[in-house]
Amino acid sequence: MIIKFNKDRRDGACEYMNNGSNGDRDEKDTRIQLTPWSCEESIDYVNEYLRKTGKFDKFKDNYKHIVLSFNKDELSEDEMRAIAHEFVKMYMHPYNPSEYAWYAEAHIPKIKVNANGEERRGHIHIFIHKYSLELDRRLRFLTHPQRRKEINLIKHYLIKKYNLNYTFRNKAIAKSNLDYYTSNNINTAKQLKDSIQNYIEANLHNFTDFNNMLQQIQKTFKVQIKISKSAKTPYISIKHPNLKRNVRLKGLLFSEKTFKSARESILNNTALKNYDPEYFLSLQEIEEQLAERQALLKQEVEERFSKVREYVQKRKKAAELQLTLKQLNKIAYKLRILNQTLNVNLQILKEFENVGVFNTADSLKLVSKNKNVNISISAQNGEFNAVAAGTNTESEAKILASILADKIKSGEIKREDLIIQGSTEFKLYVNKFLSESLNKEIGQEGKEKSTQPQPPARTESANQESVPESATNKKIKTIDF
């Protein structure tokens, strides 16, 4: 697995996902969306907001483009989705998920080899917008070089956790050194020898064969190279225009016959230990080092956005309160327009979360989203009727018992006049919750009286019409109120 950071851009992410570089996306790849929202609903949506507010032209770039590439890994859709989500969560660790917009898409190659003859592998594109709509601010990331160690730890964490194939890849020598060593500032044989040796060791994993290595050295350092033909110890002779004498690099790595075995030996030992020591860490050790590396950015982000976050939380609470008031006013309005005999205490309904209140011309319905609570209440011809048709017997019995207790306390109905129909479980629950609700509200004197046996609600007798004991045919019927 390799993590590659492409150039940050202002726009065009979704177009690139849809069409590719040459309008051949559907011909080249099978696309798999890994986020519940589309690219247009995330990255383009934030860009559109920036355009409307006149902030779009203010920034040189708007989003990060990260590619996770896999080497000979056969991954399922669920595994790629999990890897993408975990990478973003770890990379964006200082922020809450609601504070940033991102999009991820996997590409499974239909065309297995590119124009250069290189094998194409499955990969994931991840786009993370730099602007937060929630915070109304640009996010703080730090530059990629500043987080190089952290990103490498994340890579090894994912490799070990998901059992991915490891690809040794590390940076070349620092750009400042490249600028120095590839210019006319090389004046000694040691400078040339050291710089080329460092370059080879840092990039050996990228050299496909002996000739490819020589070509890259010539191209990078602008030198001429000759190969030994009959020497006992293989070497290459390097001529730099600033030096009178050639520089020789000796060893098995500098012979076409022994290059492959020498390369593997170096990668498995020296180079790997020197340039990628995280490879040898356990999963627990990686997590510990990650926590240390991430602490600095987390502290910086918290300091920078603490006041903004406080304002956002206040705004959210105000919006929730406003929404709650709207909902309660809507319920109260529905209750007011019902027949007076259907008036149900609003406070009772507030105790039951996720239960909606609906009304028809002559009935009131209490229904939850998943329909496990489904209660109908009506008053006709001097009778108060309630039918529970959901699947959560206990919750429905509790709601009905609360409503009935309120009406008993107000004197509208008498407990001894209640007729409960339904399963034995349902009857027991109603009587239990009804007793608890009535005992809860009375004073000390009432509590003492309540210790005396209370007349239970009547249940249907054997000579009454029998009712199937099913969750869809439970009834409470009150009369003479």
Mean model confidence pLDDT for the chain: 79
Task: Give the pLDDT score at 359.
Answer: 62
What pTM did the predictor assign? 0.52
Task: Give the pLDDT score at 103.
Answer: 97
CATH topology of domain 2-167: BirA Bifunctional Protein; domain 2 (3.30.930)
Residue extents of the structural domains in the chain: 2-167, 175-275, 338-478
Sequence-separated (6 or more) residues with CB below 8 Å from residue 138: 59, 130, 131, 132
Q: How many separate helices (H) and strands (E) can be counted in the chain?
A: 15, 17
Task: Give the pLDDT score at 448.
Answer: 47
Q: Determine the Cα–Cα distance for residues 322 and 80; give it in Å rounded to an integer.
A: 40
Task: Give the pLDDT score at 146.
Answer: 85
**Residues 190-238: tens digit of each pLDDT:** 888 888 887 887 788 888 899 999 998 998 888 999 998 888 788 999 9
**Residues 154-197: tens digit of each pLDDT:** 999 999 999 998 875 433 333 344 444 555 677 888 888 888 88
Task: Give the pLDDT score at 262.
Answer: 83
Task: Report in angstroms the alpha-carbon separations of 108 from 25, 124, 186, 287, 305.
Answer: 11, 9, 46, 30, 39
Task: Give the pLDDT score at 479.
Answer: 33
- What SS3 class is residue 102? strand
Task: Give the pLDDT score at 461.
Answer: 38
Task: Give the pLDDT score at 379.
Answer: 65
Stated as kind and residue range, the H or E segment containing 50 is: helix 39-52
Bridge partner residues of 3 (DSSP): 68
**Residues 108-144: tens digit of each pLDDT:** 999 888 776 667 889 999 999 999 999 999 999 988 7
Task: Give the pLDDT score at 450.
Answer: 44
- What SS3 class is residue 14? helix
Task: Give the pLDDT score at 348.
Answer: 58
Q: Determine the Cα–Cα distance for residues 222 and 288; give it in Å rounded to an integer.
A: 44
State the DSSP string of 387-439: EE-SS-HHHHHHHHHHHHHHHHHTTSS-GGG-EEES-HHHHHHHHHHHHHHHH
Task: Give the pLDDT score at 160.
Answer: 93
Task: Give the pLDDT score at 394.
Answer: 86
Stretches where the chain sits below pLDDT 50 are 169-180, 334-341, 443-445, 447-453, 455, 458-481
Task: Give the pLDDT score at 322.
Answer: 67
